[in-house]
Amino acid sequence: MPKTIPEPEEGFNPFGDMLGIVFTEYGEGRSRCELEVRKELVNPHGVLHGGVIYSMADFGMGAAVYSTLADEELCATVEIKISYVSAVKAGRLICDSEVIERRSRIAIIESEVKNGDELVAKALGTFYIYDKK
């Protein structure tokens, strides 16, 4: 049976909460998360830090995989390759993630981050799936 993401007040995702990442869709190997660009997240040049965009992709991918796991399974990021396409100074980012291949111990996931209609970044990730100890 697929897992559900606990409500934010349960403290499930403190780092994501600090960044302001909010999940708006989740399930069946897909997820959508959003983030409002704030001054606390920009680099010294006034541009959103690439690490924030990377974190959105990582969280989105994790949630997409998480939705496919059985109760006795967990997952962890093995690698993420990301290509940044455009700089972001303001707006609301949307990250759509989808599991494109799920095997017994490995999942491959794609994420696309947009600011409105503009592509910001594209990422491809590999996650390891393992049994709880």
pLDDT 10s digits, 78-132: 999 999 999 999 999 999 999 999 999 999 999 999 999 999 999 999 999 999 9
Q: Structure pTM?
A: 0.91
Domain range list for the chain: 14-131
What's the CATH superfamily of 14-131?
A: Hotdog Thioesterase (3.10.129.10)
Q: Where are the beta strands (DSSP E) in 8-116?
A: 22-27, 30-36, 73-84, 92-102, 106-115
Q: Which residue has the tokens 């708006």?
A: 24
What is the C-alpha to C-alpha distance for residues 9 and 93, in angstroms, rounded to an integer?
22
